[in-house]
Amino acid sequence: MTGRPPLPGGPYLVVGLGRSGIAAALALAARGETVVGTDRGSPDVGGLDRIETHVQTDGVELVARVRTVIKSPGVPAESPVVAVARERGLNVIGELELAWRLLENEFIGVTGTNGKTTTVELIGRIHREAGLGVAVAGNVGLALSALAGPGQVDPAATIVCEASSFQLEDTVAFAPEAAVLLNLSDDHLDRHGTMEAYRTAKLEIFARQEAGQIAVGPEGLEIPGGAAGRVRFGEGPDADVGDRRGSLWWGETELIGVDEIRLRGPHNRRNAMAAAAVTLARGVPIDAVRAGLRGFGGVPHRLEEIATIDGVLYVNDSKATNVAGTLVALASFAAGTIHLILGGQGKDQRFDDLRASVAERCAGAYLIGEDAPAIAAALGDRPPTRYSETLDRAVREARQAARPGHVVLLSPACASFDQFDDFEHRGRRFRELVGAD
């Protein structure tokens, strides 16, 4: 394990008291550090009853009391409290950086526009098939800092960490033993401003890696910076894990037939290649990799087949919060059979890229949420499009129109915050409306 730099000195101000911020505050408090927390909203801070918290305030007045600011991923860089802290020369690090410095474990970091959650869970499954200690945490699910408390994780276990662009842009020294970039396409431009800034944030996962570490990426995508050994996956002749002749290959060794992989769709085949590449490169036995690929059926809210009712398949892909995610979902089902529910907060995306695929593959489109008008303008007049406005109405209208052999697919291409707490809330509501719960 590469040595971690020491933690910057306290007292500490944790900005943003969502899941990650609460975990960071508790991890610091467990070490006996002085911690103050602040949030502009009104989060539930009941779990922080022994920590001083300030809500419904930007927290600028607290900066004078601390030496280091811990920034939660959802807090923009231009937030007043963060800006003031930097102007005063204070240390500012993100929750991912904090947790990495607190933990002794080796890390596999996984980033990309789409497929992160599926891939980290698949990597975790492969480790368990091999009988190796592993913990999965990060952007979705368990916050990474939650592992930093006493007795939370075996120091010998590998931590497989999902890392978003929001988390990576706040890293300072983060250098995982293995880093994986799955793909890159437009996303979060409302936060990052430009595709180049978004790409730069993602590539931070490789920037400080050292010789002897591993950098995994798709064939044809340059991995700048760092000194790690490169491992490639893809369909071309130079891929270390390749998709050829109906099978995945590790060099010249046949790994598994593509029809043996449980995950649906060509995008998931690439996720499987990435997971195989990083685990094989780290020495996980090939039989465990094969078993993981055969046995892993996916994660909730990502192409989750939740029910078949009257011959109609209902699929929850609520985690598709960008156009690229919806495009890969559409490619996973037969053309002309899909009743697509999409819409929400578009994050300044261009929806034009949906037009051809939706026209080819969908029998109907049902638009909900804040950016429904923009999506309608991009789709044009094919297929038949309805302004359903709410998810409840969209499910009802799609159910009425669908025929046996069709698919009702929630794959919104948008964030959920206009009508829901998060994409998980949206997915759970879809399950309820379908009658799967």
The answer to whether the beta carbons of residues 201 and 169 sit under 8 Å apart is yes
| Three-class SS state of 364 | strand
- Bridge partners (DSSP) of residue 314 are 307, 408
Out of 105, 139, 183, 316, pick the active-site residue. Answer: 139
Compute the distance between CA of residue 148 and CA of residue 162 in angstroms, rounded to an integer.
16
Active-site entry in 71, 105, 114, 116: 116
Q: Which structure tokens are listed for 205?
A: 């996962």
**Is residue 406 flagged as an active site residue?**
no
Q: Which of 188, 319, 339, 347 is catalytic?
A: 188
58 Cα distance to chain centroid: 27
- Listed residue (48, 54, 53) closest to 27, CA to CA: 48
Q: Are 337 and 363 in contact (CB under 8 A)?
A: yes
User: Nearest-CA neighbor of 402 among 333, 327, 328?
Assistant: 333
The two three-digit tokens of residue 251, written as one number? 């060099």
347 is catalytic: no
Residue 139 annotated in active site: yes
Distance CA 219, CA 241 (A): 10
Sequence-ordered list of residues with C-beta below 8 angstroms from that of 437, at least 6 positions apart, any chain:
428, 431
Dmax over Cα atoms in the chain, in whole Å?
64
Spatial strand order of the sheet with 362-368 comes to 304-309, 312-316, 407-410, 338-342, 362-368, 385-389
Instruction: Please give the structure tokens belonging to residue 236.
Output: 């071309």
The dihedral over CA atoms of 239, 244, 247, 251, expressed in degrees to the nearest 10, equals -40
With a CB cutoff of 8 Å and minimum separation 6, the contacts of 118 are 263, 268, 271, 298, 299, 302
How far is C-alpha 175 from the geometric centre of its chain's CA atoms?
A: 19
Catalytic residues: 116, 139, 188
